[in-house]
Amino acid sequence: MNVRIYQINMKRDANNVAFMNYESLPKFQGSSEIDSSLYDKVFEGEVNCFTLEKLYEIFNLKHPAGYKGRSMSVSDVVEIIDGNTGKSYFHFCDSIGFRWIDFAPEKTQVSDRFLSLAEQEKISVLLVPVGKSPIVKEIPNTYEAMKELVGGGGLDEYMPFEDDAAIVCNRDGKQEKLPMNRAVYQPPKRTEMSYSDLKSLFREAENKGQHLSAHIVFTADTFKKPYSEFERTYEVSSDNKAFQSRMGGYSIYGASLDGVDPCLRMEGLMADEMGGKDGWKIEKCYLLDNTREVADIIHGDFFIARSNVANEKYSSLSSEQLLKYKRLFRYPERFHETAHGIEIEPFKPDRADKER
C-alpha cells in the first residue's frame, strides 16, 4: 500500500485539536472541516499491508526503520495513493477506525522528521534461496529489510571468505528446522607452480584414475581490454583429453571464474599450447586441493553482502564479488541424514560432453 502520513504540528495548533476525535472538532475550532495547514507530512512510501487497521498497527508497534514521527494516533491523516489511477484518498484516524475526509496536501508542510522510503539507502546483495540459483536483489539497508529477506527472526553473520563478503542468515534457522540450503566449505588450498609442472601432475593423476583442478591466470597484456586477475583466471580440470593418455584427440576446456566463458575450448588460444607466440600468455598457475572441508551448513534462505566491520554496516557487493559468489553458490545441494552424519549431494546439471 502506497501511503503518506500527516500529523498536526503542535506549534501551529492554536485550537488544540491534536489528538481530538472527529466529533470534537466543532467544539474546539467551530467546524468539523479538517484544517490541512496544521499538518506536516512525516512519512511516504510503500508499506507491506492492505488495510488501514494493519497500517495503524505497524506505525504503533513496528515502525519502519528511520521513522521519527509520532506513533499513529487520533487526528492523524493517512493518504492512500491508488496504484492504477494515481488518485489519492484521505482518511482521518478517529477514536475508533478511520473516517474518509477531504484534505488539501498542498497546504501542508514537510516535517523535519519526514521519512521517504524511496530515499533510503539501498544495497545490492546476492540472495541464495533454498533449492534455487542465486539472484541479485536491491534492498533497503535496514535491519527490517534484511530480516524479511531471510524469513524473519534475528540475523547471524559468517565471514568464511578471504575478502570482505559476509553470509547473512536467519539466526534461528537450525532451531526452527528450516530446510538446509547450502554447505559452506573451507577455502581450497592453492599451490603455485609452472604450467609445465601442472601438466605433469595432471597427467600423473589421470593415469591413476584421479581428477585434479587448477586455476590458470593469464597476463593482463594478453587481452585488449583491461581485466582484473579474477576475470583473467580460468579453472581447468585434468579431466581433459590433453592430459589423458591414449586419447583420440587433444582438447582443453576451462571456465572463467567470472562466468563469462562457462565452457571455453582453450588449447588453440594458449601460447603454451597451440596458440603460438600471439596466444594467451600464462602469468601463473595454482593447483587446487580438491578436498572440500565443510565449515557449516546454512539453513533457510540467506544473502551475501559486503561487510564493513569497522562501521558495523553492510554495503553493496562489487560486480566482481557478485560474479564470484553467483558462481560459488550457483547450484543447489541436497542433504541426506545418515547414521554417519549429513551426506551432501551436489547438483549436477545435464550438459553435452564437449569432447572431454
Q: Find the angle CA(306)-CA(311)-CA(314) to the nearest 5 degrees.
A: 25
For residues 188 and 43, what is the distance between their CA atoms, to the nearest angstrom?
49
pLDDT 10s digits, 181-216: 999 988 778 999 999 999 999 999 999 999 999 999
For residues 336 and 330, what is the distance between their CA atoms, to the nearest angstrom?
20
Residue pointed to by grid coordinates 491508488: 82
Read off the DSSP letter of residue 70: P
Alpha helices in 95-214 (DSSP H): 143-149, 195-207
Secondary structure element (H or E) that encloses residue 56, with its range: helix 52-61
Break the chain into its structural domains and give their ranges: 2-119, 122-186+293-346, 190-288
Residue 170 has a pLDDT of 94
Residue pointed to by grid coordinates 587446487: 288
β-strand partners of 256: 234
98-101 vs 77-81, strand pairing mode: unpaired
The answer to whether the CB of 128 falls within 8 A of the CB of 122 is no
Residue pointed to by grid coordinates 559468517: 158
- Residue 74 identity (one-letter amino acid): V
3-state secondary structure at position 211: coil
For residues 72 and 51, what is the distance between their CA atoms, to the nearest angstrom?
14
Instruction: Flag residues of the chain having pLDDT under 70.
Output: 309-312, 348-356
CA atoms within 13 A on the CB side of 243: 29
For residues 186 and 235, what is the distance between their CA atoms, to the nearest angstrom?
18
Cβ neighbours of 15 (radius 10 Å): 14
